[in-house]
Amino acid sequence: MAQYDVIVIGSGPGGYVAAIRCAQLGLKTACVEGRETLGGTCLNVGCIPSKALLHATHQLHEAEHNFAKMGLKGKSPSVDWPQMQSYKQDTIDTNTKGIEFLFKKNKIDWLKGWGSIPEAGRVKVGDEVHEAKSIVIATGSDVATLPGVEIDEKVVVSSTGALALPKIPKKMVVIGAGVIGLEMGSVYARLGAEVQVVEFLDAITPGMDGEVQKTFQRILSKQGLGFTLGAAVQKVEATKTKAKVTYKLRKDDSEHTLDADVVLVATGRKPYTDGLGLDKLGVEMSDRGQIKTDDQWRTNVPGIYAIGDCIAGPMLAHKAEDEGMAAAEVIAGKHGHVNYGVIPGVIYTHPEVANVGQTEEQLKEAGRNYKVGKFSFMGNGRAKANFAADGFVKILADKDTDRILGAHIIGPMAGDLIHEICVAMEFGAAAQDLALTCHAHPTYSEAVREAALACGDGPIHM
Ligand code: FAD
Ligand code: NAI
């Protein structure tokens, strides 16, 4: 029986990061993974492949819409779908092999197969049982299905099927205007599909700042995505090549149908803990199927920890990674900390959308005394030069102390720009701290500074 200090189950961003940090802290570590490759949902069928397709199709969009304006004339590129798929696969492969390399470098054993926990201190993989002083469950999440909708990954697909369609559909219906729906909907709209997004609520990207939601929907509509909001999908009927989506409008209960070649079901994900044996172990679960932990990622069973998508909180790779690092520190007897108030969220459409901290709606509801500093990319020289001036930076700060409470960006490179605000928030900075920081010209980041200036005596370029 092999003996370890720590066995991590699952090699997604939560699990592989936890394993690496444990090894770096001198703990003998193994990681169990049932997939053929390391990296979890994120590297294999999530963040990485979706960003590859978003990148490739954004280049196409630029060539079709902006090249001629910049004096780059000629035939725009045609789409070689198999080649785009193989570019996507190469991107996955280099990333998953990168984790394999990091495991070897840190002397982490990859226990290949599906793991279960027959009792605290033991992990079974295939016929072998391994001993571990600590076990970290990082088994991630899976697609949440809808009643009346059967996913066949051919005509009715989840994000996994949508990343690998054999051909570009003419008509695609996307159920759910959340992150997956809008990212994958953008990919196929750019490739020429007629994309209709059906959303249960009355706004896209629920939970996001209201002003951003409206601007985002307007921009995506201009790019050709159609939206049916306030619509509850009843069922999807599929043949081998077509599907019919039936939905009811919530305002008047009227029933409607939409035809499609492909239907993408993007209505959320659920924690995945199948086969671990948690029931028998008596691990406490929430009514949403998440493993319950304390603020040090300990479950109620001594020696068993849980992190990432299978516990509470946003289902994001970087949240899982932060928990992985922090849980490892705790296991090694150090202090592990995650600031859940400063976890950025990014949607990698074009323009990108990014947020951190509180929305204006949340501040209103909490009765906070706040101020808004807003700056449009129309006033940013770099954005205008790059045909990327649609959108804005919005900073919310405490009216009395000027401390930054939240930020919402829709615009070019929003997913990168958000991080200077994250750092500022980590340091408890005031909007004025950002406003007094010299920002290079001409950069998109000047728009962040201008929004910070707008929290004080006013922006310069607006
Ligand atoms: P996972 O990445 O789900 O990894 C869990 C791993 O555990 C899996 O490999 C699984 O095979 C393995 N496993 C499960 N049970 C067992 C077992 N019993 N034995 C052995 N192995 C087991 N997040 C972002 O932050 N940015 C993005 O851009 C982004 N894009 C996404 C795009 C898509 C299409 C999807 C679906 C998700 C995206 N996400 C994104 C979310 C992100 O992928 C997840 O939040 C992240 O992967 C969670 O990490 P994790 O380590 O908790 O679990
Ligand atoms: P989501 O929770 O972001 O969006 C689901 C949407 O479906 C919501 O708008 C919801 O109101 C809607 N919906 C639910 N039931 C419906 C119904 N019956 N009919 C119509 N609409 C319905 O979930 P999504 O997009 O599936 O993503 C899952 C997770 O993956 C998210 O938690 C997200 O954090 C993560 N992810 C993150 C990405 C990123 O960070 N860029 C990219 C992709 C996924």
- Residue pair 69/387 in contact (Cβ under 8 Å)? The answer is yes
121 lines ligand 1 (CB under 6 A): no
**Could you report the per-residue pLDDT of 111-136, keeping only the tens digit for each?**
999 999 999 999 999 999 999 999 99
In this predicted structure, the answer to whether residue 1 has a pLDDT above a threshold of 80 is no
Q: Indicate if the pLDDT at residue 4 is higher than 80.
A: yes
Instruction: Share the mean pLDDT of the chain.
Output: 97
| Distance (Å, whole) CA 353 – CA 205 | 10
Active site residue 61: no
* Residue 358 predicted with pLDDT over 90: yes
Distance CA(447)–CA(438), nearest Å, equals 12
Q: How far is the CA of 175 from the centre of ligand 2 (A)?
A: 9
Sequence spans of domains, the chain: 3-143+270-338, 156-267, 342-454
Q: What is the CATH number of domain 3-143+270-338?
A: 3.50.50.60
Mean pLDDT of 292-314: 98
Q: What is the dihedral of CA 150, 155, 158, 160, to 10 degrees?
A: 140
Looking at residue 229, its pLDDT comes to 98
pLDDT of 148? 87
> Are the folds of 3-143+270-338 and 342-454 the same?
no
For 187-199, the pLDDT digits (tens) are 999 999 999 999 9
Third-level CATH fold of 342-454 = Enolase-like; domain 1 (3.30.390)
Residue 434 has a pLDDT of 98
- Residue owning tokens 């409470």: 405
Mean pLDDT for the stretch of residues 418-431: 98
Residue 126 Cβ inside 6 Å of ligand 1? The answer reads no
Tell me the HSE value of 31 on the side-chain side, using a 13 A CA sphere: 33
**Does ligand 2 lie within 6 Å of residue 174's CB atom?**
no
CA dist., res. 138 & res. 15, Å (int):
5
Q: Is the pLDDT of residue 2 over 90?
A: no
pLDDT band per the 50, 70, 90 thresholds, residue 257: very high
User: What residue's CA is closest to ligand 1, atom 8?
Assistant: 40
Question: Is the bond into 412 cis (omega within 30 degrees of 0)?
Answer: no
Res. 360: pLDDT tops 80: yes
343 lines ligand 2 (CB under 6 A): no
Residue 13 near ligand 2, beta carbon < 6 Å: no
Q: Quick check: CB of 183 below 6 Å from ligand 2? A: yes
Residue nearest to atom 43 of ligand 2 (CA): 180
How far is Cα 231 from Cα 227, in angstroms, rounded to an integer? 10
**Which of 41, 99, 187, when mutated, tests ligand 1's pocket best, judged by the most ligand atoms within 8 Å of its CB?**
41
For ligand 2, atom 4, name the residue with the nearest CA: 178
Give pLDDT tens digits for 364-378: 999 999 999 999 999
Residues 6+ away with beta carbon under 8 Å from 253: none
Element (H, E) at 244: strand 243-249
| End-to-end Cα, the chain, rounded Å | 68
Domain 156-267, second-level architecture: 3-Layer(bba) Sandwich (3.50)
Closest CA to 21 of 36, 6, 43, 10: 6
For 294-413, where are the alpha helices, taking DSSP H only? 317-331, 360-365, 381-385
Residues 6+ apart with CB under 8 A from 328: 6, 17, 18, 19, 21, 22, 25, 27, 136, 336
Which ligand is nearest the CA of 124, by number? 1
